[in-house]
């Protein structure tokens, strides 16, 4: 029976063989590697991956799709909301110090998924995700650009990221109303040690009124914390490089 895409799950199924092949080549799976796919759907990417890996773990929320996937002898199916999945536990169950994570992420919850995985970054070797192109533009954005913001800072603190592939709407069924892209995310080997909660609060405050100078937002936040160090608040949030936000969070942690 043909599966009808469900809007509430943000389902758009990849159906372009050329794009699928390009994504698999970007991921470069090696036999025996512990890999987890988020949202395998109709297995368009799953099948070429498992052919190269031998075994693959998949996380699928849709009950009907999970039942289909269980019929595949080389798949371990975790029927779960990815936002509730414990990736440390998954890695331990696979007997792996680190896992590779891939997926065509639902566009309606892609940012929450990225932040959820940030909590398991120590268990992750790399990540390859298909996302809405404008989200990836924000993820990889440089300072002093319109796309640079909270997502850029939080992810660039922990990952080296690269936009590796453009994916047009017609590569999906049904076609989304937006362009897509594939991002490669590799955790930094030695990230700056700090309180993630402090960095999140700091960056959220800084970008809460991005058109105003930081003295109106972050400046007041620093005063409330009785910060006595040096930080130029006569700038807008988008003018501050990731390294400066990280250094400030270290001083405030």
73 is in an annotated binding site: no
246 with 172, same domain: the answer is no
| Residue 6 clears pLDDT 50, i.e. is over it | no
Whether the CB-CB separation of 160 and 182 falls below 8 Å is answered with no
Residue from 188, 41, 60 nearest 127 by CA:
188
- List pLDDT tens digits, range 72-95: 999 999 999 999 999 999 999 999
Q: Which pLDDT belongs to residue 108?
A: 85
| 113 located within any domain | yes
- List pLDDT tens digits, range 40-76: 988 899 999 999 999 999 999 999 999 999 999 999 9
| 2 located within any domain | no
119 is in an annotated binding site: no
In the chain, how many domains are there?
2
| 1 located within any domain | no
164 with 212, same domain: the answer is no
Task: Report how far residue 53's alpha carbon sits from residue 35's, in angstroms, rounded to the nearest whole number.
Answer: 8
161 with 201, same domain: the answer is no
Q: Choose one of 136, 163, 187: the last residue of a domain.
A: 187
- List pLDDT tens digits, range 149-192: 999 999 999 999 999 999 999 998 888 788 999 999 999 999 99
Q: Which pLDDT belongs to residue 107?
A: 82
81 is in an annotated binding site: yes
| 27 located within any domain | yes
77 with 165, same domain: the answer is yes
| Residue 110 clears pLDDT 80, i.e. is over it | yes
126 is in an annotated binding site: no
24 with 67, same domain: the answer is yes
Residue from 59, 183, 185 nearest 130 by CA:
183
Whether the CB-CB separation of 3 and 64 falls below 8 Å is answered with yes
116 with 216, same domain: the answer is no
12 is in an annotated binding site: yes
170 with 213, same domain: the answer is no
Concatenate the DSSP letters of all residues of 17-67 into one string. HHHHHHHHHHH---TT--EEEE--TTSTTHHHHHHHHS-EEEEE--HHHHH
Q: What is the mean pLDDT of the chain?
A: 93
Q: Choose one of 160, 187, 214: the last residue of a domain.
A: 187
72 with 166, same domain: the answer is yes
Q: Which pLDDT belongs to residue 5?
A: 42
State the pairing for strand pair 159-167/180-187. Answer: antiparallel
233 with 147, same domain: the answer is no
pTM: 0.91
| 215 located within any domain | yes
Give the tokens for residue 69.
């996937």
Q: Which pLDDT belongs to residue 92?
A: 97
111 with 148, same domain: the answer is yes
95 with 28, same domain: the answer is yes
214 with 238, same domain: the answer is yes
Q: Which helix (H) or strand (E) holds 172?
A: strand 172-173
CATH number at residue 21: 3.40.50.150
Domain span including residue 125: 7-187
């Amino acid at each position: 029976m043909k599966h009808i895409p469900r809007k509430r799950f943000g389902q758009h199924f990849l159906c372009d063989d050329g794009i699928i092949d390009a994504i698999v080549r970007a991921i470069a799976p090696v036999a025996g590697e512990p890999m987890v796919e988020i949202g395998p759907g109709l297995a368009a990417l799953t099948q070429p991956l498992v052919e190269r890996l031998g075994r693959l773990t998949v996380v699928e929320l849709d009950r009907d799709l999970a039942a289909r996937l269980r019929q595949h002898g080389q798949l371990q199916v975790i029927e779960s909301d990815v936002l509730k999945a414990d990736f440390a536990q998954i890695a331990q169950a696979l007997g792996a110090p680190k896992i590779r994570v891939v997926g065509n992420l639902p566009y309606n919850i892609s940012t929450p998924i990225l932040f959820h995985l940030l909590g398991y970054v120590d268990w992750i070797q790399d990540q390859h995700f298909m996302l809405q192109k404008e989200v990836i533009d924000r993820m990889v954005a440089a300072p002093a650009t319109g796309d640079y913001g909270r997502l850029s800072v939080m992810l660039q603190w922990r990952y080296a990221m690269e936009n590796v592939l453009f994916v047009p709407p017609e590569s999906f069924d049904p076609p989304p109303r937006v362009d897509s892209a594939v991002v490669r995310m590799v955790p930094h080997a030695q990230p700056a040690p700090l309180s993630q909660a402090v960095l999140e609060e700091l960056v959220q405050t800084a970008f809460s009124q991005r058109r105003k100078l930081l003295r109106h937002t972050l400046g007041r936040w620093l005063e409330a914390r009785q910060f006595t160090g040096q930080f130029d608040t006569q700038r807008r949030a988008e003018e501050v490089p990731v390294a400066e936000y990280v250094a400030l969070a270290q001083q405030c942690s």
